[in-house]
Chains A and B, each alone.
Chain A
Amino acid sequence: SQTIHQWPATLVQPVGSPLSLECTVEGTSNPNLYWYRQAAGRGLQLLFYSVGIGQISSEVPQNLSASRPQDRQFILSSKKLLLSDSSFYLCAWSDQGAYTEAFFGQGTRLTVV
């Protein structure tokens, strides 16, 4: 069966520090991968998605970037964190092909201080 791992679960970082959140998927090949952000009291917002290694699409301009160095690894990064980057970040995957079911990780709570 497929599983998705996301870490760390919580992170407190100072303003201006770099960020690296990692997500890996097991039990499937060539998945679509996604990063979402969920701000307090707001809905989920798609940040990035990837249909293959090295292929990244950005939905929202921001202080963040994403990379997919391996087939089942998706990384969310920032060079310099802002206070406004504090949020709950979720990684997700779905099978290749359009409109397939999406599965989410357990999320990372990022607090920028």
Chain B
Amino acid sequence: KQEVTQIPAALSVPEGENLVLNCSFTDSAIYNLQWFRQDPGKGLTSLLLIQSSQREQTSGRLNASLDKSSGRSTLYIAASQPGDSATYLCAVPIGAGANNLFFGTGTRLTVIP
């Protein structure tokens, strides 16, 4: 049974810092891993999707890595800004075919001005 863990549950950093968010999964037979951002009371915004054949994906100040063998993914945020404050969720597909996502419980990030 797949388990997805995100540690820490909450993180506060001063503005401008580079930071890393962690996502661990127990079943390494994944096809991809997706990172999302969720603002309070809002839906999820897709940030990055890494296919199992990829090691990294980059979008602006965000860089996500995937190491299937160790069951880990990291989301690196460069030069953090107060607008980056949100909950970050990672998710992996489970079940056959239809892309049903299994989510971690998230890391709540606060960037202090």
- B99 to A94, Cβ gap below 8 A? yes
Query: Interface residue count for A (Cβ, 8 Å)?
Result: 26
Query: Interface residue count for B (Cβ, 8 Å)?
Result: 26
Asked if B93 CB lies within 8 Å of chain A CBs, one says yes
Select which of A43, A103, A106 is within 8 A of B103 by beta carbon. Answer: A43
CA distance A92 to B45 in the complex (A): 11
Given known A-B contacts A104-B36, A105-B43, A107-B42, A98 and B97 have beta carbons under 8 A apart: yes
Asked if B32 CB lies within 8 Å of chain A CBs, one says yes
Asked if A46 CB lies within 8 Å of chain B CBs, one says yes
- B46 to A90, Cβ gap below 8 A? no
Task: Report A-chain residues with C-beta under 8 Å of the C-beta of B104.
Answer: 43
Give A residues with C-beta under 8 Å from B. 6, 32, 34, 42-44, 46, 49, 51, 57, 59, 88, 90, 92, 94, 98-107, 109
